[in-house]
Structure 1
Amino acid sequence: MSASDGWFIAVAGYAILLAWPLSTVILVWFAVRYGGTHRAKVVNKALASGGGKPGYFWIIVPALNEEAVVANTVKAALGLRGPGGTLTRVLVVDDGSDDRTPEVLAAIDHDRLHVMRRELPHARQGKGEALNAAYRYIAHRSEQEGIPANRVVLGIIDGDGQGSDNILVEVGRLMGDTKVGAVQVQVRIRNRNKLLGAVQDLEFGAIVDACQNMRDALNTVGLGGNGQFSRLSTLISLGTAPWSNCLVEDMELGLRMHLQGVSIRYTSRASVTQQAVVDIKRLTRQRTRWAQGNLQCARYLGSLFASGNIARTSLVEILHYLVSPWINAIVAVLLSLSGTVGAIGLMIGHPLPILPTWWALGASVGIWAAVTTFPGLVWVLVHRAKRADESMSRMLLAALAYPAFLLLGLTATYRALGRQLSGKQAWAKTERLVEEPLALQTA
């Protein structure tokens, strides 16, 4: 390798490495500039007319062995109020639970609570199938009651989720635009008193929030598994099974909506909270499932590019969203290999042109450490400015732990690739933590 080749590789490597903090700065701009509901003036005019504002809300709670948390989730959902004081109905899909979930639900006496018990062999076919069963029930009931499908909204709140008091009002406001078929609200972490919880809240409350704000501006908002709200009419247009058995059925549903030209909005003015996974092994398993689902959704890339319903800039952003985790994984391996080979070359007396001395190797490691630490520190400032509901000391600690959190994500990415190639699809359920019980609102 010539010296010029070495310098070219070095410049290219540093350019790739520095692209991360640069992209962080761009996302921070969206986090500060946009509040999650400012796509364009034409949208705001449509919202003002309120022609599509829904009048009926159903909260679907998919439950499989959720005895530790489902009571609080249901009680919180029953207390939600929509526009004009609209009350919400809650449908819990007990997907074949074999713990005390049925007993916990039976103990909640409320006329707006509906429980659908699914038994084997139909139960435990994936979260998507449970949601489809709930959707068909609500569609049939709405038809019987003579309620127009475009006025009915289905919200998904996971077994450990709790929506903010204004969540239905905000969703209803955004759906005042008749073109809006779905809304995703911000996700926050409740148990952020633990380090892993604080890191995950930094991720959801600042980083994912900024990404969704950018996607909202580009009309490429993605749906999440928790806190997604869809018009019944939009789901009906997707057939009898809008959700699939993809490991990230929420992401796939969002992609299918984009293919049909459905507008999806994001708001950080309302939120749903959930529990963090505070065990390293279980967290890795969760992120592996997400990464494998991301791989499964890559099959939509061809259809997205062939579709005439999506702008070119939006397609680029969706492509980045689906592919960037794998690019990051490859870059991480290349950087690690270059550092390892450089160290070996110095030890045997044949240094690489790009790392001719131990000082150069040390400087490269220092730059790598600074680049990987910088984004977390910046996101702490964003989190503090926008949320201001957590101590600076705890969030700074979360920022310092963030590079290790990313390393865990890279490990999950490679595990996901291995599982996908080997055809493994089965997953163990994420365990919940017991919380203090909430009071049931009877109104």
Structure 2
Amino acid sequence: MSVSDGWLIAVAGYAILLAWPLTTVILVWFAIRYVGTHRASVVNRKLASGGGRPDHFWIIVPALNEEAVVANTVTAALGLRGPAGTLSRVLVVDDGSDDRTPEVLAAISHPRLHVMRRELPEARQGKGEALNAAYRFIAGLTEREGVPAERVVLGIIDGDGQGSDNILVEVARLMGDTKVGAVQAQVRIRNRDKLLGAVQDLEFGAIVDACQNMRNALDTVGLGGNGQFSRLSTLISLGTAPWSSCLVEDMELGLRMHLSGMSIRYTSRASVTQQAVVDIRRLTRQRTRWAQGNLQCARYLGSLFASGNIARTALVEIFHYLVSPWANAVVTILLTLTGAVGTLGLLIGHPLPILPTWFALGESLGIWLVVTMFPGLVWVLVHRAKRADEALPRMLLAALAYPAFLLLGMAATYRALGRQLTGKHSWAKTERLVEEPLALQTA
């Protein structure tokens, strides 16, 4: 290898290494710049004064073996109130539970609670199929009641989810514009007193929030599995099964809505809280499922680029969102191999031109350490500025743990690729933690 080749590799390596913190700075700048700008104010006034405000809400709770949390989830959902004159109901889809979930639900008596029990073989075909069954039930009931479908909204709150008190009011405000077919609420973590929980709240409360705010500007907001609210008329336009069997059925639904020309908005003014996964093995399994679903959704890239409903800049952002996890995985391998080969070369007396001495190797490792830690610390500042509801020492510790959290995500990415290539598409639900019971409101 010549000296010029070595410098070329060095420049390329440092460019790749610096791409992450540079992207972080740009994302934070863009997200903060958009929030509160004149354009945002105009959009908000338009949404607030629009004629598409819904007056019927359904909160769907998909439940499979949720005995530990479903009572609190249903209690919290029944306590949600929309704007004056609106009706909110809760539909729990018991998807063939074989624990005490049916008994827990039977013990809750409330006029606005409906429970749908699915039995095998229809049950346990994935969250998407459970949501489709709920959707068809609500669509049929809406038609019989003579309610216009565009005035009805279906919200998804997972078995461990709890919406903020203002969430229905905020969704109604954003859906004042008839072009808005869905709204995604911010997701937060409740049990962030543990390190893994704090890291996941840093992810959702700062990083994902910034990404979604940027997508608001590009009109490419993605739907999440928890806290998504869709207009019934929008779902009807997508057929009898809006949700698919994809491992991330929420992402696929959002992509289909964008292809149909429907707008999705994101709000951080309202939120849904959920439990963090505080076990490494279970967290890896969860992220593997997400990564495999991401890979499955990549098949929509061609249709998105061929569609005239999405701006070119928005397509670039969607492309980055679907492809970047796999690019990051490849870059990680290349950087790791470069460091390993450089160390081996120094040990056997044949150093690489880019790492000619042990000092140079140590200098590179120091730069790598600073670059690796920088994004997490920046996101802690964002989290602190926007949330201010968590102790700074704990969040700083979460920032230090964030690179290891990303390595776990990389491992999940490789595992997901292996599962996809070998045709494994089965899924396992996330285990829940028992919480203190909430008081049920009877009104």
TM range (shorter): over 0.9
**Unaligned 5+ runs, structure 2:** none
Q: 2:46 touches 2:177 (CA, 8 Å); kept in 1?
A: yes
Q: Using the alignment, how far apart are the partners of 1:124 and 1:38 within structure 2?
A: 47
- Per-residue CA distance 1:89-131 (angstroms, 9 max, x = gap): 0000000000000000000000100000000000000000000
Q: 1:247 touches 1:290 (CA, 8 Å); kept in 2?
A: yes
Q: 2:298 touches 2:322 (CA, 8 Å); kept in 1?
A: yes
Q: Post-superposition shift, 1:43? A: 3.0
Match of 1:48 in 2: 48
TM-score using structure 2 length: 0.98
Alignment-mate amino acid for residue 74 of structure 1: V
Alignment-mate amino acid for residue 414 of structure 1: Y
Q: Post-superposition shift, 1:84? A: 1.5
Q: Post-superposition shift, 1:295? A: 0.4
Report 1:2-401 matches (<5 A). Answer: 2-35=2-35, 40=40, 43-84=43-84, 86-401=86-401
Q: 2:54 touches 2:151 (CA, 8 Å); kept in 1?
A: yes
Q: Post-superposition shift, 1:34? A: 3.9
Question: Is 1:438 aligned to 2:432, yes or no?
Answer: no
Alignment root-mean-square deviation, CA? 1.2
Alignment-mate amino acid for residue 214 of structure 1: M
Q: Post-superposition shift, 1:37? A: 9.9
Q: Using the alignment, how far apart are the partners of 2:26 and 2:391 within structure 1?
A: 25
Q: 2:55 touches 2:85 (CA, 8 Å); kept in 1?
A: no
Q: Using the alignment, how far apart are the partners of 1:379 and 1:368 within structure 2?
A: 18
Q: Using the alignment, how far apart are the partners of 1:188 and 1:48 within structure 2?
A: 25
SS at match of 1:83: coil
**Unaligned 5+ runs, structure 1:** none
Q: Post-superposition shift, 1:48? A: 3.5
Q: Post-superposition shift, 1:41? A: 5.8
Q: Using the alignment, how far apart are the partners of 1:348 and 1:389 within structure 2?
A: 53
Change (3 A) 1:40 1:395: closer
Q: After TM superposition, where is structure 1 displaced by more than 2 Å over at least 4 residues in a row?
A: 30-46
Q: 2:2 touches 2:353 (CA, 8 Å); kept in 1?
A: yes
Q: Post-superposition shift, 1:45? A: 4.3
Q: Using the alignment, how far apart are the partners of 1:35 and 1:103 within structure 2?
A: 46
- Per-residue CA distance 1:301-341 (angstroms, 9 max, x = gap): 01101111111011000000000101111101000000000
SS at match of 2:420: helix
Alignment-mate amino acid for residue 255 of structure 1: L
Q: Using the alignment, how far apart are the partners of 1:177 and 1:377 within structure 2?
A: 38
Alignment-mate amino acid for residue 262 of structure 1: M
TM-score using structure 1 length: 0.98
SS at match of 2:122: coil
- Per-residue CA distance 1:256-301 (angstroms, 9 max, x = gap): 0000111000000000000000000000000000000000000000
Q: Using the alignment, how far apart are the partners of 1:35 and 1:240 within structure 2?
A: 37
Q: 2:48 touches 2:174 (CA, 8 Å); kept in 1?
A: no
Q: Using the alignment, how far apart are the partners of 1:31 and 1:380 within structure 2?
A: 15
Q: Post-superposition shift, 1:429? A: 1.6
Alignment-mate amino acid for residue 393 of structure 1: P
- Per-residue CA distance 1:193-249 (angstroms, 9 max, x = gap): 000000000000000000000011111000000000000000000000000000000
SS at match of 2:394: helix
Alignment-mate amino acid for residue 170 of structure 1: E
Residues matched between the structures, number: 443
Alignment-mate amino acid for residue 205 of structure 1: G
Change (3 A) 1:45 1:249: same
Q: Using the alignment, how far apart are the partners of 1:41 and 1:272 within structure 2?
A: 24
- Per-residue CA distance 1:169-207 (angstroms, 9 max, x = gap): 000000001100000000000000000000000000000
Q: Using the alignment, how far apart are the partners of 2:32 and 2:423 within structure 1?
A: 42
Q: 2:247 touches 2:427 (CA, 8 Å); kept in 1?
A: no
Moved more, 406-415 or 43-52: 43-52
Q: Post-superposition shift, 1:50? A: 2.4
Q: 2:222 touches 2:251 (CA, 8 Å); kept in 1?
A: yes
Q: Using the alignment, how far apart are the partners of 1:125 and 1:262 within structure 2?
A: 28
Q: Post-superposition shift, 1:33? A: 2.9
- Per-residue CA distance 1:42-78 (angstroms, 9 max, x = gap): 5334313220000000000000000000000000000
Q: Using the alignment, how far apart are the partners of 1:166 and 1:327 within structure 2?
A: 39
Q: Using the alignment, how far apart are the partners of 1:37 and 1:321 within structure 2?
A: 25
Match of 1:428 in 2: 428
Q: Using the alignment, how far apart are the partners of 1:70 and 1:308 within structure 2?
A: 42
SS at match of 2:84: helix
Alignment-mate amino acid for residue 357 of structure 1: T
Change (3 A) 1:23 1:41: same
Q: Using the alignment, how far apart are the partners of 1:153 and 1:38 within structure 2?
A: 29
Q: 2:55 touches 2:87 (CA, 8 Å); kept in 1?
A: no
Q: 1:31 touches 1:206 (CA, 8 Å); kept in 2?
A: no
Q: Post-superposition shift, 1:366? A: 1.0
